[in-house]
Amino acid sequence: MRHHMLSLSLALAMTAMTTNAAADTTSITLYSGNFDAVSQSYPSSHMPGLAQISQSLTREVPRGSGEISLDRLPMAIDVGSVQFVPATTGLRIASQRYDFALVGQDQLLQQAIGQRVVVEQAAGGDTRRFAGTLLSAGNGLTLVQDDGRVRVLASYSSFELESMPAGLSARPTLRWRIDSPRAGRENFQIDYATGGMAWQAEYQVRLDGPAQNGRMALSGAAQVVNRSGIDFPDTSLTLVAGSPNQARAATPRGAPVVASMMMKSVVADAYEAAPEVEESGEYHAYPLRQPVDLPNGSVQRVSLLDPVSGAGFVRRYEAGSPAGYYRPARPQVHPNQGEEILAVTTTLEFSNDRGNGLGVPLPAGRVRVFQAGSGSDALLGEAWLGHVPVGQKVLLGLGDAFDLTAKRKHTAFKLADDRLSLTETVEVTLSNAKSQPATVRLHEPLTRWQDWDVLESSQTWEKSDAQSIVFDVLVPPGKDTVVRYTVRYRWPNDVRP
């Protein structure tokens, strides 16, 4: 059976919808994290993201028992978190009910069983109408007509109901039964948590030239995404750098919205000045200075940090990798063969302190790094920045260095006759095709055994961890520099390779 588009009269739908007065004021506390997941999702009951919504409402209430409702709600509202408080002493909230949104004609028909329905069926070039009480809905519709006959329709074009079935709402709706000592306008405060909203920081760094030590400019904005299913106009917004743990297993489930939604992007900064950072429990909060509009299906860009210029940076070139926590279980006595190509990567380092012109908490987000040029700036790379407290160093990996290469080979290997020690000579050739000298930090893992000694080396080295050494090697422009060292490994009699 083919179902055609649901046809309900606008008058019936509008009668069923709750008419609410607009919220007086709205404020949102929005936590960072899940930005990409929220951006790529559609409004549904279990969307990622976390926002705390606070609204003040004004409603007309009757004296005695009555009902008030709110149907401008996000699809991913955490119903268990709802707090609804009247401003007037003596007004009592008797109960709270949440009605899911109407999501499809199958659910509507199931709820309408026992009600009067008018069904249209296309027959050739004509349209026939049948009226009666809906007896069943599933594989077609079954009606008890006014004359008592039962009509079974295997297919139909549309149907009409005289009223919305009980328990269904055109939009997600909260309803409260109240008991008021008097009639008139009353103020209420509602607070709740919801998914479908998120934010993350976006930074842009501009280096003043190709030197390894120099000055940079840094600016920061926040990207705020709203896919909650409703608009939040003229909203006081506080961004919190942090993601509290959530336990939302009891959140009501509704069917997902399957209609396609285009994302709108508002790219201009909303404010001239960045917000002042404040402590918020275990996190940092950034209350924006002015209200902001957050349309549903949009990404809004707002100022987060005032631009900083003249901050010092160090651009590092690194080759190889340290052994870290690796410990060999037994001596490795098999010689390495062939030549190994090492990637040379670029790392940007700077200090987040007042002495360097910064000294503010940096929320997690994406950093795009450019190098200033005579024409347009050149993109050096992008990196993800975790939350950085004041006083910490920032290390950003920007990708491979095109003009720097490294090759490693093992030139000598000897296992002692008693098989209790071995010596190995390693040679690393660093090549610089740049027009200026470059210092490369070379990480060399010593992983054949835990007890080692460097017998000789062509360059000064330092121990970086229990199984690694590091060299800082100056490579002249257009030339090669060779690093050569010999290491000896020893182990006791009771350890066998």
Q: What DSSP string runs through 124-142? A: TTEEEEEEEEEEEEESEEE
Within the chain, all domains assigned CATH 2.30.30.520 are found at 105-161
Q: Give dist(CA 253, CA 239) in Å, integer.
A: 27
Q: Is the dihedral of CA 251, 255, 259, 260 positive or negative?
A: positive
Decide: 227 and 39 in contact? Cβ < 8 Å.
yes
Q: For residue 136, which phi and psi values (nearest 5 degrees)?
A: -155, 155
**pLDDT tens-place values along the chain, 497 residues long:** 333 333 333 333 333 333 344 446 899 999 998 899 999 888 777 889 999 999 999 999 999 999 998 988 998 999 999 999 998 778 999 999 988 766 567 777 777 788 888 988 888 778 888 888 888 887 788 889 988 899 888 888 888 887 776 656 667 889 999 999 999 999 999 999 999 999 999 999 999 878 889 999 999 999 999 999 999 999 999 999 876 666 654 444 433 333 333 444 444 344 445 666 555 445 688 999 899 999 999 999 999 888 999 999 999 999 998 877 888 899 999 998 889 999 999 999 999 999 999 998 899 999 999 998 767 888 999 999 999 999 999 999 999 999 999 999 999 999 999 999 999 999 999 999 999 999 999 999 999 999 999 999 999 999 999 999 999 999 999 999 999 999 999 999 999 88
Enumerate the β-bridge partners of residue 132. 117, 145
Model confidence, pTM: 0.71
Pick the CATH number of 105-161 from 2.30.30.520, 1.10.3720.10, 3.30.420.40, 2.40.160.10: 2.30.30.520
| Residue among 118, 140, 125 nearest 7 (CA) | 118
CA distances for 271 relative to 287, 300, 302, 449, angstroms: 12, 12, 6, 59
| Residue among 343, 351, 348, 354 nearest 430 (CA) | 343
Q: Give dist(CA 487, CA 446) in Å, integer.
A: 8
Long-range contacts, stretch 325-328, CB < 8 angstroms, 24+ apart: 326/445, 326/447, 326/467, 327/450, 327/466, 327/467, 328/447, 328/448, 328/449, 328/450
Paired sense of beta strands 298-320 and 438-445, if any: parallel
Q: What DSSP string runs through 399-427? A: EE-TTEEEEEEEEEEEE-TTSSEEEEEEE
Write the secondary structure of 196-242 as one string of H (helix), E (strand) and C (coil): CEEEEEEEEEEECCCCCEEEEEEEEEEEEEECCCCCEEEEEEEEEEC
Q: Percent helix, strand, coil in the chain (nearest 5)?
A: 5, 55, 40
